[in-house]
Chains A and B, each alone.
Chain A
Amino acid sequence: MSRYICTFPTRDVSLFAPLEIEVSLNSSVIMSRQDIYINYVVILDPPSNVTVQRTEKPNQLHVQWSAPQLKHLENSIMYEVSISSVGSSVQKVETIKKTECIFAKLKLQTEYLVSVRAKPDGVSIDGYWTIWSKPVSAMTGSDLDPLILSLSLALIMIAMLLFLTMLMTRRRVIKEKIWPLVPSPENMFDGLFTVYRGNFQEWLGRSSAHILWNLQFFSSEEPATALEIMSEIKTFPPDLAKVKHQEIFLDEQSFLVSRSDPFKLQGGPLMDEGKQPAGAQVAPNNREVYVVLNQNFLPGGTSLFDAHRLTPGSNDVSDEEMPLQLLFESPRTSSRWDRSPAGEEDSFRDASMSRQSSVSRQSSLSSGIEQGSPVTPAHFDYAKYGPGGQLLYLSPRGFKLERNRNHPYLHMSDSGVSADFSIMDFQSRRNTADTGIYTNLCRREDLPECLQASNSESLTNHLRSNLS
């Protein structure tokens, strides 16, 4: 079946009225006749100049095209716009009468194809859809706008710069917080770390700060007190080193020996019984040296108690210096002492020799005195007993209490510095009756010579009688 096309010029064509079309064959046979309204069968050209642009929002696209240039059909054409992403089916179709369109809510960063077609709207002119225009592709935007990216990067850089500068300026403070300094005690100890290299023992011993340091840490509340010499002591034997009461003994041997010659002589015979102590020098630390408490034996009056010569009637004795010296005294001995100092050596010797036998000694003592021979001095030997009766100290000559009971002895009990010892009493008693020094005399039943304090006078008399 062939198809025939007839074209008429527009000046011959009238719209809005029925147009009778008659097809005849050879002008005699009418093939067909039709009345058409041309304004109902209009086909336009497809829209041209389709443009797709991005809007401010990244997910929007703006489509524009130009209308067909038919003067009298301006408001009678409607369009169809189709948009679809690449590779998928048609997504959206919009029918509008304007020549522009905005598609919203699209996918980001995707490519879209847009095409448009047209058709008369059918009010006064009607027709058929045109073909689709050529598709135009366009890409939607993305969320990461490059401007925003650059701005945020700049902000981050500025923040980091600020942080770094703050770190640099506050480095010291931060370091102190993280690594706190360990305090050093150097300023409290002068020279401890510099001179002595941290040796605390050396620093304590040698530096002048020792005194200060000691004073600072060991404050003694008790002031130094004057020590009262109660007796001239010999060096005590080593076995008594632990005894507490030895503190009251003073080592005055050198002092005693240096002052008087007979003291030297005393040291000799005491040690060796058979020796002839002729000018034997006694070492200062000779333990055999003992004290003679009789001032009358001292030559020339030079004695320890120089300024205090004792006479029966003498009152000017210094008690602090010589509290014990008056125990034995005899006015005759002093004169005899002056006369024959040499004989005293013999007397001493005799006295020492007779020590072993109590009877002979005593007799020699007494005989020595009675015969006018040099005064046999009385010996002061003492032994010290503890509270339980144990022997604490014994004089170097081994004087034993229980053996030598025949010669007078004094048994005393004392608790250290005795409160009963009264200096005033001593003074008064001396003035009155030449009493002994010790007033606090104990009582011991088995010792007939042990007298009480009230019987001190009798004691001294007794002693004197023995000596004479």
Chain B
Amino acid sequence: MLLGYIKPAKSIPLHPICDIRVLDKFIREAKDATDSTKRCEEACALPGNFTLPKTNVNYREWETKDTGTKAEEVQTGLKLLALAVQKAQNVTVNSNMLHLIERSYSNLRSITQMVRSFSTPDTLNRERELQTTFNTRSLRTIFHVYLSFLQGKVRLFFLHTEACNLATS
């Protein structure tokens, strides 16, 4: 009788967590990482090139874009950041930096998950064409870009997406 009442649980999350406070928390953590790498000019040098998205946001430009484009930009940017952080994680030897990098990587994965939950799948294919990128070799630049990307595009996307019920406090 007890088994009868057990229903199969859904594999996907019931509802996308679209809470701006979660994003703000990620942003704060990214800011901590950025502050910790401010003074490391030489130690933060990484071998190889890392491709990072451009994070500049113009409000007027942003408002002209549609939701699909916004979602695509956010998703491709998050993907690039994730690859770069992962690459940096493999290369970094310093334990402090490694901690920061790992935490950033996990946050990125969460954010990517959140964005994917409330975005349509057809936008995923256009990610490479529209995105502008630039290369860097510094860890500090990686963190900066990561932070800026979260503060800018991701946040704006979170705030003005209709599918996302923002619980702003």
A15–B24 touching, CB < 8 Å: no
> How many angstroms between the C-alpha atoms of A16 and B169 in the bound complex?
23
B159–A14 touching, CB < 8 Å: no
B27–A16 touching, CB < 8 Å: no
B59–A16 touching, CB < 8 Å: no
Whether, in the assembled complex, A3 has its beta carbon less than 8 Å from a beta carbon of chain B, the answer is no
Question: Knowing A16-B55, A75-B168 touch, does A124 contact B60 (C-beta < 8 A)?
Answer: no
B57–A16 touching, CB < 8 Å: yes
Contacts of B124 in A (CB 8 A): none
User: Given A71-B59, A72-B156, A75-B159, 14 more contacts at CB 8 Å?
Assistant: A11-B58, A11-B61, A14-B56, A15-B152, A16-B148, A16-B152, A17-B56, A17-B148, A17-B152, A39-B152, A75-B168, A97-B169, A123-B24, A124-B24
B151–A72 touching, CB < 8 Å: no
> How many angstroms between the C-alpha atoms of A14 and B62 in the bound complex?
10
A75–B153 touching, CB < 8 Å: no
Distance in Å: Cβ of A441 to nearest Cβ of chain B: 152
Write the residues of chain B forming the contact surface with A, with a CB cutoff of 8 angstroms. 20, 24, 27-28, 54-62, 144, 148-153, 155-156, 159, 168-169
A17–B159 touching, CB < 8 Å: no
Distance in Å: Cβ of B165 to nearest Cβ of chain A: 14
- The one of A15, A71, A72, A125 that contacts B56, using a Cβ cutoff of 8 Å: A15
Whether, in the assembled complex, A18 has its beta carbon less than 8 Å from a beta carbon of chain B, the answer is yes
State the 5 A-B residue pairs at the shortest beta-carbon distance, nearest first. Answer: A16-B152, A17-B56, A14-B56, A124-B151, A16-B148
Contacts of B24 in A (CB 8 A): 123-124
Q: How big is chain A's contact interface, by range?
A: 10 to 19
Whether, in the assembled complex, A148 has its beta carbon less than 8 Å from a beta carbon of chain B, the answer is no
Closest to A97 in B: B169
Whether, in the assembled complex, A10 has its beta carbon less than 8 Å from a beta carbon of chain B, the answer is yes
A123–B159 touching, CB < 8 Å: no
B159–A16 touching, CB < 8 Å: no
The residue among B28, B59, B61, B169 with the most chain A CB atoms within 10 A of its own CB is B59
Contacts of B150 in A (CB 8 A): 124
Contacts of A75 in B (CB 8 A): 20, 159, 168
- What are 12 of the A-B contact pairs (CB < 8 Å)? A10-B58, A12-B58, A14-B56, A14-B57, A14-B58, A16-B57, A16-B153, A17-B148, A75-B20, A97-B169, A123-B24, A124-B151
List CB contacts (< 8 Å) of A211-225 with chain B: none
Whether, in the assembled complex, A37 has its beta carbon less than 8 Å from a beta carbon of chain B, the answer is yes
Distance in Å: Cβ of B22 to nearest Cβ of chain A: 12
Distance in Å: Cβ of A72 to nearest Cβ of chain B: 6
Whether, in the assembled complex, A13 has its beta carbon less than 8 Å from a beta carbon of chain B, the answer is yes
Contacts of B20 in A (CB 8 A): 75
B56–A10 touching, CB < 8 Å: no
Closest to A11 in B: B60
> How many angstroms between the C-alpha atoms of A71 and B151 in the bound complex?
16
> How many angstroms between the C-alpha atoms of A190 and B13 in the bound complex?
119
Contacts of A71 in B (CB 8 A): 59
> How many angstroms between the C-alpha atoms of A71 and B56 in the bound complex?
18
> How many angstroms between the C-alpha atoms of A72 and B156 in the bound complex?
7
Distance in Å: Cβ of A254 to nearest Cβ of chain B: 145
Question: Knowing A72-B156, A72-B159, A75-B159 touch, does A123 contact B59 (C-beta < 8 A)?
Answer: no
Distance in Å: Cβ of A465 to nearest Cβ of chain B: 168
B155–A13 touching, CB < 8 Å: no
Question: Knowing A16-B151, A72-B156, A75-B20 touch, does A124 contact B27 (C-beta < 8 A)?
Answer: yes
Distance in Å: Cβ of B144 to nearest Cβ of chain A: 7
B27–A72 touching, CB < 8 Å: no
A16–B60 touching, CB < 8 Å: no
B59–A15 touching, CB < 8 Å: yes
